[in-house]
Amino acid sequence: MAPDSRRIALGIEYDGIGFKGWQIQPGVRTVQAVLEEAVARVADHPLQLQAAGRTDAGVHAIEQVVHFDTRARRSERAWVLGINTHLPPDVAVHWAHSVPPDFHARFSATARHYRYQILVRRTRSPLMRQRAVWIHEPLDLERMRAAAQALVGEHDFSSFRALSCQAKSPIRRVFYLDLDQQEGLIVLAIGANGFLHHMVRNIAGVLITIGRGEAPVEWTSELLRIRDRRLGGVTAPPQGLYFVRADYPERFGLPQISQRAPLARLRDDSELAQSP
């Protein structure tokens, strides 16, 4: 970070339908590319954004956190208004906040939270087609909840990571995993100290299979034991997945708008109590 630069954090919401994911890739539209162009126009110089999490194609974000370094001097309000002026309708900045040089959107995060939506009804929904995965047969929610209990706490999630996952360790601690249903929409809410590539979608795929009665409730425990992704079931589609938010130490003072996740029925109380 240059001596004359300052670090700015942003809270971003985006609809993932029209993007090939977060990370810049040649020849395709990505959230990072669109956002960097808009921020650079306000800053008056090229820059690079760092994000709390890299979402895949079709995945949405309610409050993604990013940061960048800049020589420009703008008020926080000017950053928000100026960047939004240059953004397309499927991306918006909700807040900007000046942070100290040691803040990092990815490495300073103490927890991350995701949501996965499952629409259970006999006919498809045109309005929800890119907002939830559609399952046309009934799912047994109690079986899914019972199976999910095994995933709470610290485990080796090798069976729930993508084969291409580059994370050095498969060990993650899940603070809570909740499943609620209202008017046919099942919402899976999960928070952890970190996630492996496709981990949430793989968990959703396994729980859907168990909810259909195609696998026993004990399958989640068995998958944790065998630590083999090749036996880990189907990866659920991306359109039901939402990056909800990341948590950071209070000293950074981020003005996050997302409500904190409720205390879930399936939770690791000892660790959740320590999450800021």
Q: Strand, coil or helix: what is 57?
A: coil
Q: Checking DSSP bridges between strand 153-156 and strand 60-70, what pairing results, if any?
A: unpaired
Scan for tokens 């020589």, then name that residue.
71
Cα(132)–Cα(184) distance, rounded to whole angstroms?
A: 11
**Catalytic-residue membership of 15:** no
Contacts of 5 (CB under 8 A, 6+ apart): 69, 70, 71
DSSP state of 47: -
Cα(65)–Cα(5) distance, rounded to whole angstroms?
A: 19
Cα(189)–Cα(225) distance, rounded to whole angstroms?
A: 23
How many CB atoms neighbour CB 161 within 10 A? 22
Contacts of 64 (CB under 8 A, 6+ apart): 11, 12, 13, 14, 22, 31, 51, 52, 53, 55, 243
- Element holding 200 (H helix, E strand): helix 199-211
Residue 253 backbone class (left: φ over 0; alpha: ψ -120 to 50; beta: rest): left
Q: Look up residue 131 and give its two tokens.
A: 């907002």
Q: Which of 15, 56, 69, 156 is catalytic?
A: 56
Any idea what the Cα angle at residue 234 is, between residues 232 and 240, rounded to 5°? Answer: 125
Catalytic residues: 56
